[in-house]
Amino acid sequence: MKIAFIGLGNMGAPMAINLSAAGHELMVFDLVEDALATLEQQGATRATCAAQAAENADVIVSMLPAGAHVRGLYLGDGNQPGLLETLSHKPLIIDASTISPEDARTVGAAASERGLSYLDAPVSGGIGGAKAGTLSFIVGGDAAAFEQARPVLEVMGKNIFHAGENGAGQVAKICNNMLLGILMSGTAEALALGVNNGMDPAVLSEIMKQSSGGNWALNVYNPWPGVMEDSAASRDYQGGFLTDLMAKDLGLAWELALDSKSAIPMGSEARNLFALHSAQGAGKLDFSSIQRLYRATQASE
């Protein structure tokens, strides 16, 4: 298939590499020169703009930071027209970015008005999952478009879920990440409490993993440095899923809660913790560095 891939960052680059390795013909675009050069080395063709990448594509995949970028790409941003306006054929559109359900519905409705199929398909699984091709895709959009997208998604992911209509993929993804933010901050809090009371963090982790406190953040993404050899914590929180992106996702949960009059006391607390952590300079560190917020309390005693 001819695939246009737009947004070659931490997640997009390895996803695009997997599509290229599977034999698809890729035309790629990003604003960053290095990202384009990396993909070119992997056999993709670089485009000079998103419209050129999409020109002859059967499928367009985008992986951009936030809703403003996705709206700008598809609907235009005042300076240039959006892709929906410039397309002269009808490729399937798959946006894998994490954005608000409202933005996804807006772009989906605009695509539908032009006879185009649009899927919101945010992912779970992080950079490791993107590289290994084992992401979970949580898809919103109509069932026929979902089935059409499946073979492409299966190259990049292991679990492919159909959550419902446009926007539902984002709702499910935001609920998942709110829970992850709560679990990670709770895990960091419990580890700090134990260490402050003389426990070895590795021993405490093993005990909680085998007990009722076991959870994904503790079991596979331990935030305490040195407990897990290959965790972000053990490489000074470099790479991984950035604090700023977790803060963004918790902000999306907050908006969703306001819109639906839902109470999210734990999610709000997690949002404040990650926003504070980001404001203290940790925005570009992996989100498990929230551990430092708790260790700092201990150090200042």
Contact set with ligand NAD (CB under 6 A): 6-12, 29-32, 35, 50, 63-65, 69, 72-73, 97-98, 123, 126-127, 241, 245
Q: How far apart are CB 64 and ligand NAD at their closest, in Å?
A: 5
Calpha distance 49→30 (Å, rounded): 8
Nearer to ligand NAD, 24 or 69 (CB): 69
Calpha distance 246→242 (Å, rounded): 6
Q: How far apart are CB 173 and ligand NAD at their closest, in Å?
A: 8
Percent helix / strand / coil, the chain, rounded to 5:
55, 15, 30
Calpha distance 122→294 (Å, rounded): 30
Calpha distance 192→237 (Å, rounded): 17
Nearer to ligand NAD, 16 or 257 (CB): 16
Calpha distance 1→59 (Å, rounded): 8
Active-site annotation holds for 173: yes
Q: How far apart are CB 212 and ligand NAD at their closest, in Å?
A: 28
Nearer to ligand NAD, 35 or 192 (CB): 35
Catalytic residue among 173, 209, 248, 261: 173
Q: How far apart are CB 6 and ligand NAD at their closest, in Å?
A: 5
Chain residue at closest Cβ approach to ligand NAD: 9
Alpha helices in 42-100 (DSSP H): 50-54, 67-75, 83-86
Calpha distance 285→257 (Å, rounded): 27
Nearer to ligand NAD, 78 or 265 (CB): 78
The catalytic residues are 173
